[in-house]
Amino acid sequence: MDARAIIAKLRRQLVPDADEMRWFAQGLADGGVSDAQAGAFAMAVCMGGLDASARAALTLAMRDSGDVLTWDLDGPVIDKHSTGGVGDCVSLVLAPALAECGAYVPMISGRGLGHTGGTLDKMEAIPGVTTQVSEDRLAQIVADTGAAIVGATAQIAPADKRLYAIRDVTATVESLDLITASILSKKLAASPDALVLDVKVGSGAFMKTLADARALASALSETANATGCKTSAVITDMNQPLAGSLGNALEVAEVMRALTSGKANALAELSAVLGGVLLADAGLAQNADHGRAQIAEVIRNGGAADRFGRMIAAVGGPVQFVDSWARFLPEANVIQEVSARKAGYVTAIDGEALGLAVVALGGGRQVESDVIDPAVGLSNMVRLGDKVDPATPLAVIHAAREDAAQLADSEIRKAISIGPKPLAIQPLIHERILA
């Protein structure tokens, strides 16, 4: 086969067959396809699009460019993917809760880049935790504890790693087909029996409109189902941070409060909704509502917290973390409130701006090589609809230096709108697209 012929086919809006997709993906992985050819391929897909069968073929080809995990377990293997938001630490609640309900959860996750936080960065805010483990070690952790949250090895979907870097410099990141293949090639490499997709929409999400979120949710779920993985999608609101904090250690604290306090909040609620869908799709619950109740119960009774502790210890964290989590998490040098300075109601929150403020504090990355400060971020965030007066704190800043805190103060004030009347608040769950 010839890369030029495949690119020419796409340029003429013809669809490469599965063999051609496999050949091209392997060329991406082993260097047989040049950077110029990879860029031309990405642009041709971006401009002309793929039909559903070609999108599934590209996804499988990219998955099969590297290792595909296999399992010998006594229960279903299931997983979740979020398209990214702010204050979104669901994975750390959901993985142990699902394991407590009888599932196995090998959750291969990523790091933060841009305004959204990374699940691996949150895990590594816990002292001693390492998220880079071998495939053999991953299998052992999952068998022993039921769940693991780790990074992908270099052998997982190497074609995607190469193509993503090319897309980043060729203005083809936004292609729905390439986004779908990129996300699913990595998730399907873990060979899940069922997958749930949390597609975010709103000011703190990459998808700002419901129409765009719906298009992505449909593309992802249809493609994953076409490859044989039972997949549902839930479109969820990101017009305000999901949890009350942004920043790695601060979000771990939110997770621990959700797992140990027994109090209902948006983080626990969304974890139960997503988990309920997964348990139903995996045959561990009669339906999504029954599964939701199961997840809520293992969070309430402490079973999910105990499972989380086992998972953290298995990747090098403190054995007694669940019992004494507050003393293990790092704290920032400067902690100060941001007062509202006016009376009214919180009418809008620019989640992306808040996420970027955390990045500026050192809690995220502007380029991949940036080193993260796990202690910095924002806590005690106001919620949409809250009534405030001039002395009400909009947030609490956790910073390494006074000057960084002052800059964050200004950005937070610009990101939070206060009006004379409360506005209608969007529901947490917008739509479900079930398998």
Question: Do the beta carbons of residue 251 and residue 241 sit within 8 Å?
Answer: no
Which two three-digit tokens encode residue 26?
A: 């392997």
> Among the options 187, 200, 257, 307, which is catalytic?
187
CA–CA dist 405, 247 (Å, integer): 14
Catalytic residue, chosen from 91, 116, 119, 203, is 119
Catalytic residue among 55, 161, 167, 307: 167
The DSSP H or E segment spanning 39 is helix 35-48
Q: Is 391 exposed, middle or buried (0-12, 13-18, 19+ CB in 10 A)?
A: exposed
Catalytic annotation, pick one of 64, 79, 121, 160: 79
What torsion do the CA atoms of 77, 83, 84, 85 make, to the nearest 10 degrees?
A: -110
Per the annotation, the verdict on 119 as an active-site residue is: yes
Residue 65 a catalytic site member:
no
Point out the catalytic residue in the list 65, 82, 185, 223.
82
**Annotation marks residue 421 as catalytic:** no
Residue that the structure tokens 């495939």 belong to: 135
Q: Is 82 a catalytic residue?
A: yes
Cα distance between residue 406 and residue 390, in whole Å? 18
Annotation says 200 is catalytic:
no
Q: 108 has which bridge partners?
A: 150
The active-site residue out of 55, 63, 115, 186 is 186
CA 93-148-127 angle, to 5 degrees, is 80
Query: Residue 339 carries which side chain, given as an amino acid letter?
Result: S
Sequential DSSP letters for 179-244:
HHHHHHHHHHTT--SEEEEEEEESTTSS--SHHHHHHHHHHHHHHHHHTT-EEEEEEEE-SS-SSS
- C-alpha of 39 from chain center: 26
The single residue of 22, 55, 63, 81 carrying the catalytic annotation is: 81
CA dihedral 120, 256, 197, 285 (to 10 degrees): 130
**Active-site entry in 182, 223, 232, 379:** 182
CB distance 16 to 53 below 8 Å: no
Q: Among 313, 334, 398, 363, which Cα is nearest to 126's?
A: 313
Q: Is 175 annotated in the active site? A: no
367-379: b (≥16 Cβ within 10 Å) or e:
eeeeebbbbbbbb
Whether 186 is a known active-site residue: answer: yes
Tell me the C-alpha distance between 237 and 260, whole Å: 25
Spatial separation of the C-alpha atoms in residues 86 and 412, rounded to whole Å? 14
What backbone phi and psi angles, to 5 degrees, belong to 281?
A: -65, -30
Catalytic residue among 80, 122, 162, 200: 80
Determine the Cα–Cα distance for residues 223 and 227; give it in Å rounded to an integer.
Answer: 6
> To the nearest 10°, the Cα dihedral for 403, 404, 410, 411?
160
Residues composing the chain: 435
Edge-first strand listing for the sheet containing 230-237? 78-82, 194-201, 230-237, 429-433
Q: List the one residue out of 203, 151, 209, 163 whose CA is nearest residue 58.
A: 163
Q: Which residues are known catalytic residues?
A: 79-82, 119, 167, 182, 186-187
